Structure 1
Amino acid sequence: MKKTDLDRFDGRLKNASEAKQNKLERFKAAAVDPERLAKNAQRDEAAAARKSARQAKATKLLQEKEARERQQAEIAKREEEQAEVHEAALKTELSETVEQALAQPETREAERKAERDRRYAARRNRKR
């Protein structure tokens, strides 16, 4: 068999060098290829659109969160005001109830005395 140029070391070295050179030339040619440039531009535009959509969504979510927090603060403020009004009403009602409770034993005592006096008077009237 005849030995080819590829069988020798310097032939293999030369072949590898040529392959590397061809690969480099294809890479450089691909860098200026209009189709590839257009594809890269489309990819970049899509990435920019996704980024702007994410930013818009994040802004919208932030605004919604702030609106919810404002609403919750308003609700809490209203509830606090209602609680204060309710507490004031309870204090008023309680003070009236306490006054009634304090006056009630006196009233009951007066009623009992009046009933006892009536019975005594009825008994005296029967004896006469």
Structure 2
Amino acid sequence: MNPEHASGYVDRLATAAKAKVAMLERFRSRRNADDPALLKQQAERKAISDARDIRNAERQAAREAQAAQAIAEKAAAKQEKIALAAAQAAEAAAAARRAAALPAEQKAARDARYAARKARQR
């Protein structure tokens, strides 16, 4: 075996061992679940998340209220159109009754004038 290759192999083994030790130290130095700083950080994240959920719920409620208002406005406009159409129909029916009654009134007035003229001639 070539001594140059052997020293490279030993160097690689030493580097790998150092990396394993460093990983183990990083793992051991991690905060425990009971660490007050970690608990505080988790509480802050939970508060931020809850506030975001509340804001989203408020936005959704506002969108739903706006949609309900739009539906109510459309229904009111439709009701107004129906009322206007009913008023126009009633007005048209009254005009038709007046138009139908007009010839009869004119005939009655003509007959009255004729009768008055005949009465004066006698």
1:27-66 maps to which residues of 2 (within 5 A)? 27=30, 29=31, 31-66=33-68
CA displacement at 1:17 relative to structure 2? 0.8
RMSD over equivalenced CA pairs, Å: 3.0
The CA deviation at 1:77 is: 1.3
Which residue of 73, 76, 89 maps to 2:75? 73
Determine whether 1:86 maps to 2:53.
Answer: no
TM-score normalised per structure 2: 0.60
Runs of 4 or more above 6 Å deviation: none
Tell me how far apart the structure 1 counterparts of residues 78 and 17 of structure 2 sit (CA, whole Å).
82
Offset of residue 84 of structure 1: 1.3
Which of 28, 31, 40 is 1:25 aligned to? 28
Unaligned residue ranges in structure 2 (runs of 5+)? 1-9, 111-122
Equivalent pairs counted in the alignment come to 98
Distance in 2 (CA, whole Å) between partners of 1:70 and 1:8 is 79
Q: Per-residue CA shift, 1:53-94, capped at 9, x if unaligned?
A: 211231233133223312321331132022111122123324
Q: Work out the CA distance in 2 between the residues paired with 1:92 and 1:46.
A: 68
Identity %: 13
Give the structure 1 partner of residue 18 of structure 2. 15
TM-score scaled to structure 1, two decimals? 0.58
Q: Supply the distance in 1 between the matched residues of 2:14 and 2:70 (Cα, whole angstroms).
A: 76
* Unaligned stretches of 5+ residues in structure 1: 1-6, 111-128
* C-alpha distance after superposition, 1:21-55 (max 9, x if no partner): 1121233x265432232122112111101101211
